[in-house]
Structure 1
């Protein structure tokens, strides 16, 4: 397993962002010829799970995303499966700083087939709790909006959407149209620039 050459616990925000870019380009990002789930062609592919499930990567993701949350945030939620490790990492990061003690909610893709038939997994929160929706990667924005709907149906307030990586393919405009605040840590161009700077042969 790839291990960073330093402890992420001691890094500044800028240093942490640099190390996270390194992990993403080493473990999550590939260039080539790829056919996506939609059937569309892409000249790159990104899967953040090898980073968000990496011990050091999870710490960096949790710390950096937590730093982008507004102080009034009271909980975080995300659509399974991509957001599962992210909401956990951000919740853990909230033990050390404000906004503090953020519970994590996981949004199911289908309602639970037994018992309470619930769409959300996690602690029961007070009605009107201010929840931020977390994503690993956003493309057109549909998945996060589904999570927004489920959170609202549960009686909570979906205050905004925060993503690790924005593919810059329409999600921001989608959220603006829906009236949902949107924040991102990185864009795909940040990752591509970092990757190419380190993989382009010198002439």
Structure 2
């Protein structure tokens, strides 16, 4: 199967949600999912690797991610945020999807370390009132620590954070960690979805 590097955006705009999900799953399997021997950012070894940025930095991929995640946001959410670098294109995509349907969602980017100059801030973006509801986004969840760091930074700044949304859940403890922290968690796909589709389009 050829890479979907030129998915027709006009057709995507007319597609149903299930069709969008299928296109996005296909793209994930074609450009983001790899099998082999890998060491993850968590330090764990894995027989597969998912580079979510291959999809979130893909023009049509970003568009699909933005719209599909937008549909998962609670009505009260006023901003979307995530830890740099994986969440950067995601918060932008969701914010732009919101703007297309007259819903204002401020994108916030959480630094891993405080800025070394100026305001020395951890959070980049428009300063919002204390208590503003923010949803944290993540591309690929393994242990859940990256998104949790973003949650902690946002809560420390006075924002209300009750939910994490992800592109892919590797089913390796992230959901359980979020539950322990009182966070609702949803992912568009799990690793089982990717591996099942991968097997279909790459028969042995």
Q: TM-score, normalised by structure 2?
A: 0.93
2:164 aligned with 1:199, yes or no? no
Post-superposition shift, 1:12?
Answer: 1.0
Matches of residues 44-59 of structure 1 in structure 2 within 5 Å?
A: 44-59=48-63
3-state SS of 2:100 partner: coil
Post-superposition shift, 1:11?
Answer: 1.3
- Aligned partner of 1:159 in structure 2 is 162
3-state SS of 1:95 partner: helix
2:107 aligned with 1:104, yes or no? yes
3-state SS of 2:46 partner: strand
Post-superposition shift, 1:36?
Answer: 2.9
3-state SS of 1:82 partner: coil
Post-superposition shift, 1:95?
Answer: 1.4
Assess, with a 3 A threshold, how the Cα gap between structure 1 residues 38 and 106 changes in structure 2: closer, same or farther: closer
2:187 aligned with 1:184, yes or no? yes
- Aligned partner of 2:29 in structure 1 is 25
Distance across 1 between alignment mates of 2:40 and 2:82: 22
3-state SS of 2:187 partner: strand
Q: TM-score, normalised by structure 1?
A: 0.94
Among 5, 15, 20, the residue aligned to 2:19: 15
Post-superposition shift, 1:181?
Answer: 1.1
Distance across 1 between alignment mates of 2:12 and 2:63: 7
Provide Cα deviations, 1:101-156, integer angstroms capped at 9, x if missing partner.
10000000000111111100001111110000000011111111110111111111
Mark the runs of 5 or more structure 1 residues left unpaired by the alignment.
Answer: none
2:95 aligned with 1:94, yes or no? no
- Aligned partner of 1:141 in structure 2 is 144
Provide Cα deviations, 1:156-185, integer angstroms capped at 9, x if missing partner.
111211111000000111011111111111
Distance across 1 between alignment mates of 2:195 and 2:63: 22
Assess, with a 3 A threshold, how the Cα gap between structure 1 residues 37 and 152 changes in structure 2: closer, same or farther: closer
RMSD: 1.5
Mark the runs of 5 or more structure 2 residues left unpaired by the alignment.
Answer: none
Distance across 2 between alignment mates of 1:161 and 1:37: 19
Contact 2:162 2:182 in 1 (8 A): no
Contact 2:24 2:61 in 1 (8 A): yes
